[in-house]
Amino acid sequence: MYQPEIEHIGDELYFIAASPSTRRLRAQAQLLSQTDVPVLITGEPGSGKTTTARLIHSLSIRSSFQFMRVQCAAVLTSDLLENELFGYEHASANGRPASTLGKLEQCAKGTILLDGFDGMPDTVQRRLLKLLETGELVRRGGQNPIGANVRIIAAISGDLELAEVRSKIQEELFYRLSVFELHIPPLRERQDEIPLLLGHLMNRLTRRYGVPAPHLSSVLLDACQRYAWPGNLRELDNFAKRFLAHRDEATALQELDCHPEHAATKSGNGGGNGNGKNGVEFLNLQPTEEKSSLKLLVRNAKGEAERSAIAQALEQTRWNRKAAARLLNVSYRALLYKIQEYHLAPPAESERFFDSGDLRQAK
């Protein structure tokens, strides 16, 4: 058994290495932190790509400067993503020229993580390639090149050998970013770490919410190690929040189901809904100003599970909302309202974006 290494990398964020694979990952991050070359991080959703990027940043000489994460596939249009990254020139209220800095300039001397990089539109990819070639950027609508001193890390969810992933990335840009690649192993391939990770999550949550730590029996820990965790660390975190809220081992074991053939079909990021049904239990969650109550913990945990299950169903059906509604066993109209409530949006290359016309069609 390896002696675990727990490294604090910011706020309540920790990198935990307790297996050969994560120790290798930590060593690779240490080496890459000593250079300024771009890095490409791959791995399943929820596996820890952002945490690994933060680790590289925290170990580097850029650690005293800003770390930013931009979710490329979540930005609605190519123009908006271009503005967010590169900034833009415009006229102020009095008609004089003005500038709005993009994230690449805001993150000067720091590190920027381009998450969902394979969802970046071609026009933005071309501008990013130019930045990597020259070390300079031009704001949208501007003319003058500006020096860009920023470390770029890109992340994608998937296997780089898949043709559909490679086809979305311009070849020259792909090769510039993939000289150094880090692959994050899924949680099912490092099951020995699960008891440590679960205990760490419980300790963090009990401190945050000011509640006593629950007992984690050997039966529950064994079940956690047998479960496939398709949603990886994100799903484990949601499971810890729900268990801390209800403290019912029988419910937790039923949720895990303890059968590999069932574990592979559970909702990816939410870990199921904990009610023994195949669908999603839709909840009437109201916002609250309580920041440290157990009541808020229950609400947040259920809301995160619901949002994750919906997001996975939409991804599985390639944003065919009627098919996703059937998969979740809810009405089409209820699904549309939930998409709007959770501010979910498809990648730019997917079908048209959700709008109020869909609600009118659903009535």
pLDDT number for residue 160: 60
pLDDT number for residue 147: 92
Integer Cα distance of 33 and 148 in angstroms: 19
Tokens (6 digits) for 68: 């930013």
Query: Tokens 């596996």 — which residue?
Result: 47
Sequential pLDDT tens for the chain (363 residues): 456 677 888 777 788 888 888 889 999 999 999 988 999 999 998 899 999 999 999 999 999 999 999 988 766 678 889 999 999 988 777 777 788 999 999 999 999 999 988 888 888 999 999 999 999 999 988 888 999 999 999 998 876 655 556 667 888 888 888 889 899 999 999 888 898 899 888 888 888 888 888 888 999 999 999 999 989 998 999 999 999 888 889 989 988 874 444 444 333 333 333 333 323 333 332 333 333 444 455 455 555 666 777 887 787 787 888 888 887 777 787 788 788 777 788 765 444 434 434 444 444
Full-model pTM:
0.69
Question: Which domains, from first to last, does the chain contain?
Answer: 5-185 (3.40.50.300), 190-362 (no CATH)
Residue 73: Cβ within 10 Å count: 20
